[in-house]
Amino acid sequence: MQRLFDLAPDFQFVELPRIGLSSAAVEARIAAIWAEESARGTTLFNGRIYSLVEHAPARLAVRPADYRQLVALRRAPELAAQGLALRPIGVTGLLVARDGIVLGRRAGHLAADAGLWETAPSGSLARLDAAGQLLDELEEELGLSPDRVSPPRPLTLVEDLASGTCDIVFRLDTALAGDAILAAHRDSGSDEYSELAVVAARDLAGFLAARAALPIVRPILERAGLLPPA
């Protein structure tokens, strides 16, 4: 189940102190899980992430944390009761091209949600400039420079209750056609997505019905008026 919340166009972040671990035993468990996951060959980088504490349309209160803490929590949910309570927050783009909506299939080597389709680009929130980070993800993942899209417009804050993750969703519009976007991804994009598709609005329902996608995809498209409410 997902919950969607309004976001003001000029919403601001408030940064709270970093989350503190309850014991050395929790830290040791986090380190052990990180070592195990790294040994499996999945793509991992222990960068900064943020955890959502509270929100209002104009204000998001967040705490910094480490990505390895999130990896450990996903592997061992019981750590939440031991002080490792996280609501990881990310950025997601709804890129609307001249002839469709851009969707990407997450690559099989990724540590989370491999093989699932999502609106692209996306990434964990690593700094408190969500729109700027999304444009960086656009260039890195899809190979598109920021000058090829409109300024990001906040669309919604969406929370997936099953995973506890939250995403700040921005709409991006481009005059480019799908073929140009696919070519940019092929020539300059990263390996974040094993496959990219540009899907006409009339074909979105059928496309998603035939493929496994992140649970937040349909609510995002409904909020944007690109799919009728389920």
The two three-digit tokens of residue 163, written as one number: 């995973």
Neighbouring residues of 212: CB distance < 8 A, sequence distance ≥ 6: 115, 116, 117
Query: Is the pLDDT score of 111 beyond 90?
Result: no
Average pLDDT over residues 28-44: 84
- Given this model, what pLDDT does residue 74 score? 87
Query: Is the pLDDT score of 42 beyond 70?
Result: no
The two three-digit tokens of residue 90, written as one number: 């990310």
Average pLDDT over residues 34-61: 89
C-alpha span between 96 and 101 (Å, rounded) = 5
Q: Are strands 165-173 and 88-97 parallel, antiparallel or unpaired?
A: parallel
Q: Are the C-beta atoms of residues 108 and 114 closer than 8 Å to each other?
A: yes
- Given this model, what pLDDT does residue 41 score? 67
Q: Which residue from 181, 161, 179, 13 is spatially nearest to 93, judged by alpha carbons?
A: 181
- Given this model, what pLDDT does residue 195 score? 96
User: Which run of H or E residues covers position 65?
Assistant: strand 59-66
Is residue 13 packed enough to be buried (19+ CB in 10 Å), middle (13-18) or exposed (0-12)? middle
State pLDDT tens for residues 125-144: 999 999 999 999 999 999 99
Average pLDDT over residues 105-109: 92
The two three-digit tokens of residue 70, written as one number: 């999130």
C-alpha span between 78 and 119 (Å, rounded) = 30
Query: Is the pLDDT score of 220 beyond 80?
Result: yes
State pLDDT tens for residues 50-92: 999 999 999 999 999 999 999 899 889 999 888 888 999 999 9
What is the share, in percent, of the chain residues with pLDDT greater than 70?
Answer: 98
State pLDDT tens for residues 135-190: 999 999 999 999 999 999 999 999 999 888 999 999 999 999 999 999 999 999 99
CATH of 89-223, one of 3.30.70.640, 3.40.50.1220, 3.90.79.10, 3.40.50.1100: 3.90.79.10
Give the start-to-end residue ranges of the domains of the chain: 12-86, 89-223
